[in-house]
Amino acid sequence: MKVIKQILGGDLKRYTMVVALAVLIGIFNIISDGRMLTSSNFQNLLAGNAYVLVLALGMLMVIVIGQIDLSVGSVAGFSGMVMAIAARELDLPWWAAVLLALLIGLAAGAWHGFFLAKLGIPGFITTLGGMMIFRGGVIWISKSISVPAPEQLKWFGAGYLPEWGPKFTGMNNSTLLLGIIGIAAYVVSQLKKYKKSAEVTGVNEPKWAVGARILLVGSIIAYFTWLFGTGREGTSFPVPGLILLILIIIYHTITQKTKFGRNVYAVGGNKNAAALSGVNVARTYFITMMNMSLLAAVAGILFVGRSTAAGPADGTSWEMDAIASVFIGGAAVSGGVGTILETMVGGLMMAVLNNGLMLMGVGADRTQVIKGFVLLAAVAFDVYNKRSGRGSHKIRTK
Amino acid sequence: MDNNPFILQMKGITKEFPGVKALDDVTLEVRRGTIHAICGENGAGKSTLMKVLSGVYPYGEYSGAILYQGKEMKFKNIKESESAGIGIIHQELTMIPELSITENIFVGNEITKNGLIDWDEERRRTREILKRVGLTLDPDMLIKHLGVGQQQLVEIAKALSKDVKLLILDEPTSALNEDDSENLLDLMLELKSNDITCIMISHKLNEIARVSDAVTVIRDGQTVEHYEVEAGKVDEDRIIKAMVGRSIENRYPERDARIGEVLFEVSDWTVEDPEVEGRLVCKQSTFNVRKGEIVGFAGLMGAGRTELMRSIFGRNYGIYRGGTIKIEGKEVSIPNVSTAIRHGIAYVPEDRKNLGLNLLDSIRKTIVSADLEKIIKHGLIDFDEELKAAVEYKKAVSIKAASVDMGVTTLSGGNQQKVVLSKWMFTDPKILILDEPTRGIDVGAKYEIYKMIHVLAGQGMAVILVSSELPELLGMADRIYTISEGRITGEISRGEADQEILMKRMTALAGE
């Protein structure tokens, strides 16, 4: 146990969810006779859930500031629909239509942000209103009919990275390159951390622990590189997956390494103390809400691309999946707690569950029931964990 | 009734938390019909002892025996201790603001008739009990419309409604002003004459001196001193000595003040109450602070000291209605907190937990939180710089914690305050406003904070010290302003100041 602890760098509880996810994948793989861990299944899983995970990125920040956004599904549906209609009926080029969708997202977010930041109306109410307004809007402008999307968008929602270079690698070379970059970046970051932490604290982590950690994470990346890269001809790591990956890096950096990110946590932890430390609370609320709707538009674009048409019901109850991902990832309802990476693990948990149950032939009805239980179990486990770690203290409620 | 003179005897109480012995063989004996004071530094184990007594920690989780009215008690929860006649008034008020006085008093113990609440009877009883604590209020008034002092009294009334025989008051006057405190102490004396025993946990030695019949001092989870006293003859120095385990010759460190030019000037500062239209909380306040000077602000609760400081600090409170600020002779406009920080003003708020800290954060994140720009490179926070700063301050102000990654909630009050001070020192301020910097902090930590303040003033900072404790102001400040009802009513130099003069000016009516 101590060895494992050293390899993972201390706090084991942080990895409980990751381990649970791995176990879940393993179990499904056994039950489905190996159909879980196949190239095509994982390509589908990632491409088919990227939009929810994109939503969860924004939702994490919204929940950390102590708010909630119920409108994201409607906003995603609305911006996707505007994009499809603009391309089809106004003959806008596809990129202009995409830009328009993103602008709609920003505007919707500014709308929600205004009511929250300037008028102090809780996000729950503001976005409940938004949920109805934009859902009604989708149905209205589409006249309840699906609108085909521009061809080029399919690449965003369901495309694969290009094939190039030598054949002897035995896999898609774009995916291979991605995997190599991933491993290299991880190795470099670990070595840097190792060196720096020794400089500042004077305590050296054992070298073997760092090595074992690099080996462990490296082989996981290598395995998935191989899995995504060796599908049938013409497939690779999916484009929506790549977009998600880039967004994860951006948002992880924003939340952990920028002033704005710190402000988000400060406002969620104690907004009065934040205000007295020079944080502009209203501005933080506003930007976070605006960012959420912008990401909702991105999710809408990805989804329309994948389904090749914008439908009037697109986005229905997506907010629930996004919120569930954030809470399974360990965020606190009272705000101030939660990270992008944990949220992504939470989201993948839901995605794997959906996918695995589908492979087992479990119907959507029972899948829904199981997901509900998993959400409760995950959060209960998290609460229990935190409570047992803090002696006699009760769960913090505000 | 038996002949045992003690209403309560706690014998050999030991309570352990994982890794810590919070109480170690503590003995407490309380005579019937007395007021018994318990003192000790923060973290000494006073509150834990009271939690053992009231059943918050149930029988079995501690060792030792509790004899109450001659019988051994094995409380499993608060309900059981309550029904035995032990009532506890917590430091933090536990009233529900949106409910009426009656509803609060009877919450959980509603009087019913045929399954429905008998409002007439509840109101009648409420009026009766309120009279006992000296309040004449409408029983239907909402708690949120009462002042803190009144709420405290209602809290006691609630305990009385449960036919309490032993009343525990945990720092009962910490949130009260002088008048309300006096009231409360008088009430305790009256309860005593009605044969209700009180246990009072308090930091305030003068209050202990005034009312208590016996004193028990706890230090590091052990009883170190216990003696009976005649009311009014408590030896304060003896208590302090026992509390800290050493004698503090001088409660305030010596200092050689080097006072320079006027650094900070506020003129005609006027602020309106954000809640009550037309009510001014600061009325044309004018004052100045020199380089290296410690300037005290004295005023009763509600006089407008905090309001004045918070409105100066980037208009964080109230509606600005006029006035100017000059720093180093230049007039500056400070419309928000971040501008205030940029101009070198730092404000350490009085309410540490609600205004000073994000309790979810670690020491490390807290220390840099008011000036992130300082550790940002190319738009990104430099974690190494952050760690370096945190380690440096932890050492410089000796924050007692295993590492800088510890959460601030795990720290004692004194150490939390050191973290908050570090956070503001990190901004390199020129003007440091300290609002009740030693509230709820034990004597030893207070002394350390005083020393820090001296060091900062010695570096040429202009320090403003707002305090409710007159001895603290007299011991620390070079000059003291008094505030009453939003107006500055006096400016007294160190030489001429004494408690009497200050109190006179603090109670001077505006305009006099």
Tens digits of residue pLDDT in B365-395:
999 999 999 999 999 999 889 999 999 999 9
pLDDT (average), residues B482-505: 87
CA distance B283 to B268: 7
Ordered per-residue pLDDT tens for chain A, 398 residues: 677 777 776 666 677 888 889 999 999 999 999 999 999 999 999 999 999 999 999 999 999 999 999 999 999 999 999 999 999 999 999 999 999 999 999 999 999 999 999 999 999 999 999 999 999 999 999 999 999 998 888 898 889 998 888 888 888 999 999 999 999 999 999 888 888 777 766 677 788 888 898 999 999 999 999 999 998 888 999 999 999 999 999 999 999 999 999 999 999 999 999 999 999 999 999 999 999 999 999 999 999 999 999 999 999 999 999 999 999 998 988 899 999 999 999 999 999 999 999 999 999 899 999 999 988 988 888 778 766 544 333 333 33
Taking 70 as the threshold, does the pLDDT of residue B250 lie above it?
A: no
B283 touches chain A (CB under 8 A): no
- Per-residue pLDDT tens digits for B430-474: 999 999 998 878 777 888 899 999 999 999 999 999 998 788 898
For residue B206, the model assigns a pLDDT of 78
**What residues of chain A, 215 to 274, have a C-beta less than 8 Å from chain B?**
253, 256-259, 262, 265-266, 269-270, 272-274
How close does chain B come to A256, measured CA to CA in Å?
Answer: 8
Question: Which residues in chain A touch residue B349, judged by CB atoms under 8 angstroms apart?
Answer: 276
pLDDT band for B244, please (50, 70, 90 cuts): low
Q: A40 in contact with B at a CB cutoff of 8 Å?
A: no
Query: Does the distance separating the beta carbons of B347 and A200 come in below 8 Å?
Result: no
Query: What is the spatial distance between Cα A236 and Cα A42, in angstroms, rounded to a whole number?
Result: 10
Distance from CA of A128 to the nearest CA of B (A): 26
Q: Which residues 6+ apart lie within 8 Å of A363 measured at CB?
A: none
With 0.95 as the threshold, say if the pTM is over it.
Answer: no
pLDDT in the model for residue A192: 87
**B131, B78 in Cβ contact below 8 A?**
no
Q: What is the pLDDT of residue A398?
A: 32
Extract the tokens encoding A160: 């694969």
**Which residue is listed with tokens 């470099």?**
A188
- Which residue of chain A has the CA closest to B353? A273
B206 in A contact zone (CB under 8 Å) = no
SS3 B270: strand
Cβ pair A266:B369 closer than 8 A: yes
Distance from CA of B98 to the nearest CA of A (A): 16
Q: What is the pLDDT of residue A394?
A: 35
Contact B354 A196 (CB under 8 A): no
Burial B74-103 (b: 16+ CB within 10 A, else e): ebeebebbbebbbbbbeeeeebeeeebbbb
* pLDDT grade for B2, boundaries at 50, 70 and 90: low
Q: Report the C-alpha gap between A392 and A370 in whole angstroms.
A: 32
pLDDT band at B246 (very low <50, low <70, confident <90, very high): low
Other CB atoms within 10 Å distance of the CB of residue B295: 24
pLDDT in tens, B49-82: 988 998 889 998 899 999 998 889 999 988 889 8
Residue of chain A whose Cα is closest to the Cα of B317: A276
Contacts of B354 in chain A (CB under 8 A): 270, 272-273
A337 touches chain B (CB under 8 A): yes
List the beta bridge partners of residue B376: B381
A351 in Cβ contact with A45 (< 8 Å) = yes
DSSP codes joined into one string, B402-465: S-TTSBGGGS-HHHHHHHHHHHHHTT--SEEEEESTTTT--HHHHHHHHHHHHHHHHTT-EEEE
ipTM of this complex: 0.82
Q: Which of A336-345, B16-25, B69-78, B341-350 has the lowest mean pLDDT?
A: B16-25
Give the model's pLDDT for residue A396.
38
B358 touches chain A (CB under 8 A): yes
The answer to whether A364 faces chain B, any CB pair under 8 Å, is no
Of B340, B358, B381, the CB nearest to A266: B358
Instruction: Answer whether B360 touches A (CB < 8 Å).
Output: yes
CA dist B232 → A88, A361, B110, B395 (Å): 90, 82, 41, 42
Percent of chain B with pLDDT over 70: 94
**Distance between CA atoms of residues A54 and A239, nearest Å:** 13
| CA distance linking residue A170 with residue A166, whole number of Å | 9
Q: What band does B153 get if pLDDT is binned at 50, 70 and 90?
A: confident
Per residue in B353-370, pLDDT tens? 889 899 899 999 999 999
What pLDDT sits at residue A366?
Answer: 94
Best to test chain B binding among A252, A276, A396 (most B CBs inside 10 Å): A276
Nearest CA in chain B to A332: B360
How close is the nearest chain A Cα to the Cα of B155, in Å? 22
**What part of A 180-209 touches B (C-beta under 8 Å)?**
196, 199-201
Give B249's pLDDT tier (boundaries 50, 70, 90).
Answer: low
Q: Which residues of B touch A275 (CB under 8 A)?
A: 316, 337
